[in-house]
Amino acid sequence: MKPNLSKPTVTGLAYILRHKEEWPDNFEWDFSHHRGCALEIINATWVGGRDIVTIFDAASLLGIPNFVAAKIFLESGDREEVSPEHIATALEAL
């Protein structure tokens, strides 16, 4: 079931990560760069294109502790192998 995507939520971000049709225009997944990861999805979807400088900005928007955001967005594994589904699964585990 599609969640309400009008406000930033963990559930909403996980949904978007699993549904490419919800991704911002011209977005390509590249976990090694902030413009190609979940932070850019948050930026383009809920912040209006203003750069999110840190994962802590994302944590604040999503209502999760900074250490949880760091674990999910920075320590999810080998940057070449992390997929949108990996991040979605980590978010859903919250």
In the prediction, which pLDDT does 10 show?
97
Q: What percentage of the chain has pLDDT greater than the value 90?
A: 68
pLDDT for 77 beyond 70: no
Locate 27 and state its tokens. 């977005």
Cα–Cα distance between 94 and 81 in angstroms, integer?
22
3-state secondary structure of 6: coil
In the prediction, which pLDDT does 53 show?
66
